[in-house]
Every structure is written in structure tokens, then in C-alpha cells.
A and B are shown apart, each in its own frame.
Chain A
Amino acid sequence: MLRLTVMATHTEAQLRTAGEVVAAAVHAARETHGEGLPAARSVA
């Protein structure tokens, strides 16, 4: 599990950059370890 925290003062650009970098890292980790969770447990 990757734990992130959000601030009221983050800008939209910072959160978008961070979200994309983190998502890429998560995909890389899932490829390596091959046990991602089913989509049903992932929500926006």
C-alpha cells in the first residue's frame, strides 16, 4: 500500500504531477509483483 497525504495548499498542477508519477510507480510495482487489486476495490 502506498500512503499519500494531501494539503489544502497543494496546487492542481502539483497534485496532477504527483498523481501521474505515483500511478506510474504503482503500475511498475504491480508489474514486478503481479498482484494488483481488482478494479472493484479502487474508487475515485
Chain B
Amino acid sequence: MTDGLTAARPELPAAARDRRDPFAPLHENALAALLRDPAHPGSASVAVPTGGAPLPVTRYADGRDRINLGTGNYLGLAGDPRLIESAAAALRRYGTSTSGSRVLNGTTGLHLQLEEELADLYGTEAAVLTSSGVNANLALLSTVCTPDDVLLVDAHVHASLHAAAAASRGKVVRWQHNDLDSLAARLERLDPRAGAVVVVDGVYSMTGEIAPLRGITALCAQHGARLVVDEAHGLGVLGAGGRGAGEELGVLTDVDAVTVALSKSLASVGGAIMTSRAAADGIRASGMPYVFSAANDPASVAAALTALRILRAEPERVVRLQQNCALLRRVLADAGAGPIQGRGAVVAVPTGSEEAIPVPPGAPRSTPASTPTPSPTRPSRAAGACCG
């Protein structure tokens, strides 16, 4: 299989013999090396593909059923017949691919409808769809700021926000995770004419902690800063209407732009930015992932649209999710493995180790699926541990 392309470089000419291999960070990646070892705990569940939808008990391709504790399918809609039917209908009508970006014949009526209903959910003038949550963050942050402006980024935001901020023309300043004093100190030091954007996750993706948004919105108001909140793990999870941490804490109207991923509660794939009409128009005109990347495929737009309607029509799903989160947190705490404080559907249990941990011998056949993953908030660390 690898006959034509291998990691080895051909013999270099004498003049280039001292050149470092720029692919070395890939070839020597520590997590990759760990996962290559089939004896390493967790590597099996990385290697075993799922054999069905990400349901509470998921069938894996090795024929085993495992309790799935690592899916973003928070509302359980990924196997819902209504989503499957709407995706199938979209496939039949629009085909498998948009085969072009939103500005190159890639826009269907479904894209426009989903944007309208997402904007309605968040009470914003507009919503811009992107092909992933990563691309929503990139489309937004890469198009804000001049070189004299500043993005103030919580140190633990999702990797895509760090990367998106780095792609912005503005200067990136990190502040200590969820620490209002740290944010305030950095806001106070700003040049009074510099534009400022505060960037946070509503719910932190590795720990389920929520951002102290009341304090953050107060600081933004005091210093004239704009606020961007990534609600990838808040949508469908927090707030009476499932809008996320901003709704839960009653500050949604103080947020300048909300980004979401459609791959979690909405059981699809894609992302969106909810913001003002003027900002949305700017993203549509200049956001690289919007202008230059193929538009979301029609089936996943249809699935997300159906999921969004179910979220709004069946708020009891959100209530049930919150009850289940509280139950798992309680069970873990009662068993002496209390998770760190959080309110999201992500529950993080300190293990005292950076290593993935094995499921103990003799565990029931329906064991939780466990997968080591790099932390998206600390891209440079070798390995976190993750169930999934």
C-alpha cells in the first residue's frame, strides 16, 4: 500500500544534506506513537470503528456493544428516523454534494432555511452556515480586527478558536482560564483606541465547565469590547431553550457573535455564526471557509434543520439531558471519582494521570468506550484521556 510514498526522504544532494525534515513533527508525534502500540490502553477503541449510529449503547465493528460515553450526540438524535428521513429526502432532491462553495452554486433553499431558523433561535439578525464548527470559528475570527486590535482569548478555548485567532490580523493575548481578574487586567492594559474582542467557550469542551459570562459581559461593557462565545457544547445542553451557556446565564443579548457546531446536539455536521446582519455580510464577502470551501452537503443541512425543529418542539429532551448529567456526576462522586465542577454534558474526572486508563478486568460486556485524545485546549501536550 505504501510502495509509492513513504516517510523516508530520498538521498539528499550534498548542498541540502543539513536540511531538517519539516515533516519530522508528524513522523515523531508522541501521541501517534502511543496509539500505534496495540497494547496501549485505549488504542483498541481508537482503532475499532463504530458499526452503527452513536447511540447510548453503540455497536462497534468488532461486534461488541459498548455504553457510549464519548459522543457529542447529546440529544440522541443521530439515529432519529425523522432526521434520517429528511436527510434521505434532501439526498434524493439535491444529490450527494453541493459541489461548490456558497458563492459558486452551492446554496440550496435548505441552507437559507437553516440560517433563518438558527438566527431565529438566537434572536440575531443573521446566521452564516459553515461546513464545520472549526470553520465557523475560522470564518469569524479571521475576518475581524486590524493589526492594531486585540483578541483576548481564554487559555482553554477550543483549539479551533486558538487557530482562528492566530489567523486574525489582530494581536492575540491569552488570559487565565475562567479568571475574571486576569481578563480585567489585560483589558485595562489595552491601548484605549485598540479594538478588543473577548473569545470564550460557553461550555468548555474538555471539562464541561461554563464560562463566567455575567462577569465577562460586564467587563466587555465596561471596556467597550466585543464578545464571541463558542456554544458548540452549549447548544441543546444548557438554557431552557437549549441555546447554551449564554441563555442559561441570561446574557445572550450581550454576546456579539455566537458560534456553534452542528455535529453535537443537532446530530449532523457543519457550523454556524449567529451575529448582526452587517457582520454576517462581511463574513460572506471575505470569510475564507465560506467563500472558498464547498458548501455543506444537502443531507446534513436537512438533518440539522430537522434536529433544530425537534430541539424547539421537544424542550423536554434538554431537561432529560440535564437530569442525566446530574445523575452521572452524582454516581461518580458517590463512587469516589467526583468530576470537576461543570454543568455541561461533558463530565471530566481527574485521574491523577495524563495517560489513558484501562477499563478494569471483569467489567461488564457493555463497557464504556474509552479513547485517548489530545486535549484540544492544549495542543502541545502529548496525551489527555477521553471516553469515546
Contact = CB atoms under 8 A, between A and B. Distances in A.
Interface in B190-233: 206-207
Contacts of A9: 55-56, 75-76, 320
Nearest to B264: A5
Interface string A13-40: 0111111111111111110111111010
B351 A2 contact: yes
A26 B337 contact: yes
Contact of A8 (B72, B318, B373): B318
A1 B336 contact: no
Interface string B36-80: 000000000000000000011100000000011111111110000
Contacts of B388: 3, 5
Given A9-B55, A10-B324, A22 B352 contact: no
A36 B350 CA distance: 7
Contact of B329 (A10, A17, A37, A44): A44
Interface in B256-300: none
B101 interface: no
Contacts of B359: 21, 25
Contacts of A42: 333, 337-340, 350
Nearest to A38: B350
B2 interface: no
Main DSSP-derived SS at the B contact region: loop
A20 B331 contact: yes
B368 interface: yes
Contacts of A30: 351-353
B67 A18 contact: yes
Contacts of A12: 327
| Chain A interface residue number, banded | 35 or more
Interface string B292-329: 00000000000000000000000001101100111111
A1 B357 CA distance: 9
B141 interface: no
B87 interface: no
A29 B353 contact: yes
A20 B330 contact: no
Contact of B69 (A5, A32, A36, A39): A5
A19 B334 CA distance: 9
A10 B375 CA distance: 25
Contacts of A23: 331-332, 335-337, 349
A5 B368 contact: no
B321 A2 contact: no
A20 B335 contact: yes
A23 B353 CA distance: 14
Contacts of A35: 352-353
Interface of B: 55-57, 67-76, 206-207, 317-318, 320-321, 324-341, 345-355, 357-360, 363-364, 366-368, 370, 373, 375, 384-388
Identify the 6 closest CB pairs spanning chains A and B, nearest first: A42-B338, A9-B76, A19-B331, A23-B335, A23-B337, A8-B321
17 contacts: A1-B348, A1-B354, A2-B349, A2-B387, A4-B349, A5-B388, A7-B56, A7-B324, A8-B75, A10-B67, A12-B327, A20-B335, A26-B350, A29-B355, A37-B352, A43-B329, A44-B332
Given A7-B68, A14-B366, A22-B337, 6 more contacts: A5-B387, A7-B75, A14-B67, A18-B328, A22-B332, A41-B341
